[in-house]
Structure 1
């Protein structure tokens, strides 16, 4: 559907999104003609906007009002129309002040990152720190007990052995247990569990064919045995900033979002299944009911090839995506630099921002 848009429609859609992000008011054809960026009549622009609405990129909240971007319109904007935002001197100074801090302790960097992102973007910031020094399993062994029970043995990196007796609801053939043992050793053995993402587990499930339903319960036992379930620190900064946007003034909507902050596993699930680049999740793309009508933009922090945390912001769908993406990429790159090298400053030049188009999670 994206290829249906002519250059003129693209320019008008970009102008509508930019204007709506800035003002929060529905955008009419008169607003675009006043900007003198189009050499078109108000009637022509109005017709183009009507076509964009029929294609699903714009919506009209009221018959007498202008139009606003739909979720599809925002998605097309961040993927194809958004211009790179150049951080100004003041913004760079605020970011570099944090990155030049003498501490290279990850928890301090993550804590400060959330505070800085909330101040810089005026959105609610989310910062996640993974625990450090976790055991890995070097070898798995699966031994059948009967057709509904088997013993899982895990030989850990510290040479200790952990065992779990696992019961299945349905009978499992010995062939399935052999395939499970093979998959665990191929996909999980020797791997930091912090790097095991949802797409990776889905790949593991596919490799097991009709026995793929064993992966989820077995991985839960593995996480529990290694003490992984409660070792992630989620920090929320700038919750009060939600009240600055009309989208969150509805008491029910605000209650849903605040409740999700308490149920941090929903946020962690989004972060774990994401790409390593900046992820932009718009409205229903989040897959979390409480975040419908909101956008979440975040990036994992990768140190020595391992995801050690993440930093991002939550705000309305009419978020200033360009500025947010630039700030998140710059800040996360600075933290990675500080943690990956012996140089503690982590200060970057403005050219290191290297913004690219937003990516869907």
Structure 2
């Protein structure tokens, strides 16, 4: 974990923030003349040069050997992020894009989340990431059988907006009365989690008549598959191609490691679980503050989204440490707020 060991005075802090913002803007090492001309600090280039040297000695800046300018270290970025004002207004174009997307969003939270990842990737020009609510612990609010003639649809709806369905061939013994009777038994499972409902169904099937047995097993099997594979805890990723436009920021091997981890879902899930543990608001993980993001030379901006007071998932972006943190944090916070509203509506 990168830690800040020194308190910075107002002028050093202002110089550091000016270096970060100019480097994010230009991608070029920043010299004292540039800061003197653009920062409005009202001090000479020589004074700023002394401050840059002091900040480098304190570990907030580094000095590429090929340039006279400085670039921020992970510690420098951390100081910058920690001193940003809370609740910065979204850019108007971003606000309109987010409002427009959620005005048209469908009810299935998983689908809304996939669209939200793409939305964030477009707004920030980084890769969007999300961890949807896991099915296993999600309470069921609807569990139904829908008569479709020669087939039967099994429909399950979770409290946080999850929708699962499966169409099966109609069992020979499953006439209209049998379907009605089995559906009455399914009503008793509402409020149970997917995992508990599956266990209850297996017990019911073992005790049921032949005409009910097969249908109950089909419902149990659908709930089982919903909590595995795609339904298990997983990561939704979008806009990875945005990172290739930042290729000049990263060394080739570093970018390759990032792409490989994004493809290894369980490893990526572990990273997100590590960096979001016990976080109630937007959180930024910078470079070497986590071993994996240190390997990538990347930062992750994440925020939880909730159903009521319970955290049910995570949304965020990943990009180079040379990131527009202000815009990324504002966008992630706004999207997480909208997702929380949708998840809470589903819970009501």
TM-score after normalising by structure 2: 0.68
- What is the distance in 2 between the residues matched to 1:34 and 1:135? 56
- What is the distance in 2 between the residues matched to 1:82 and 1:67? 24
Q: Aligned residue for 1:113? A: 116
Q: Offset of 1:335 from its aligned partner?
A: 1.0
Q: Offset of 1:304 from its aligned partner?
A: 3.4
Task: Work out whether residues 242 and 248 of structure 1, in 8 Å CA contact, stay in contact via their aligned partners in 2.
Answer: no
**Secondary structure, in 3 states, of the residue corresponding to 2:132?**
strand
Q: Aligned residue for 2:177? A: none
Q: 1:336 to 1:81 in 2, by over 3 A?
A: closer
Highest CA radius of gyration, 1 or 2? 2
Q: Offset of 1:48 from its aligned partner?
A: 0.6
Of 74, 80, 83, 1:80 maps to: 83
Q: 1:88 to 1:160 in 2, by over 3 A?
A: closer
Q: Aligned residue for 1:167? A: none
Task: Work out whether residues 234 and 265 of structure 2, in 8 Å CA contact, stay in contact via their aligned partners in 1.
Answer: no
Q: Aligned residue for 1:256? A: 257
- What is the distance in 2 between the residues matched to 1:284 and 1:271? 15
Large movers: runs of 4+ above 6 Å: none
- What is the distance in 2 between the residues matched to 1:102 and 1:18? 35
Say yes or no: does 1:100 pair with 2:137: no
Say yes or no: does 1:284 pair with 2:285: no
Q: 1:248 to 1:48 in 2, by over 3 A?
A: closer
Q: Aligned residue for 1:239? A: 240
- What is the distance in 1 between the residues matched to 2:138 and 2:244? 42
Q: Offset of 1:81 from its aligned partner?
A: 4.3
- What is the distance in 2 between the residues matched to 1:240 and 1:3? 38
Say yes or no: does 1:337 pair with 2:332: no
> Deviations along 1:59-79, whole A, 9 cap, x unmatched?
001264200000000011111
Say yes or no: does 1:16 pair with 2:19: yes
Task: Work out whether residues 301 and 309 of structure 1, in 8 Å CA contact, stay in contact via their aligned partners in 2.
Answer: yes
Task: Work out whether residues 126 and 314 of structure 1, in 8 Å CA contact, stay in contact via their aligned partners in 2.
Answer: yes
- What is the distance in 1 between the residues matched to 2:259 and 2:67? 34
Task: Work out whether residues 2 and 76 of structure 1, in 8 Å CA contact, stay in contact via their aligned partners in 2.
Answer: no
Task: Work out whether residues 294 and 316 of structure 1, in 8 Å CA contact, stay in contact via their aligned partners in 2.
Answer: yes
Task: Work out whether residues 135 and 158 of structure 1, in 8 Å CA contact, stay in contact via their aligned partners in 2.
Answer: no
Q: 1:158 to 1:246 in 2, by over 3 A?
A: closer
Structure 1 unmatched runs, 5+: 137-155, 162-223, 345-361
TM-score after normalising by structure 1: 0.66
Q: Aligned residue for 1:29? A: 32
Task: Work out whether residues 17 and 68 of structure 1, in 8 Å CA contact, stay in contact via their aligned partners in 2.
Answer: yes
1:108-187 matches, within 5 Å, as: 108-132=111-135, 134=137, 157-158=196-197, 160=199
- What is the distance in 2 between the residues matched to 1:248 and 1:68? 12
Structure 2 unmatched runs, 5+: 140-194, 201-223
Output the aligned Cα RMSD.
2.8
Q: Aligned residue for 1:44? A: 47
- What is the distance in 2 between the residues matched to 1:135 and 1:331? 22
Say yes or no: does 1:91 pair with 2:94: yes
Q: Aligned residue for 2:307? A: 303
Aligned length: 262
Task: Work out whether residues 84 and 322 of structure 1, in 8 Å CA contact, stay in contact via their aligned partners in 2.
Answer: no
Q: Aligned residue for 1:320? A: 324
- What is the distance in 1 between the residues matched to 2:35 and 2:249? 27
**Secondary structure, in 3 states, of the residue corresponding to 1:4?**
coil
Q: 1:64 to 1:328 in 2, by over 3 A?
A: closer
Q: 1:107 to 1:43 in 2, by over 3 A?
A: same
Task: Work out whether residues 304 and 336 of structure 2, in 8 Å CA contact, stay in contact via their aligned partners in 1.
Answer: yes
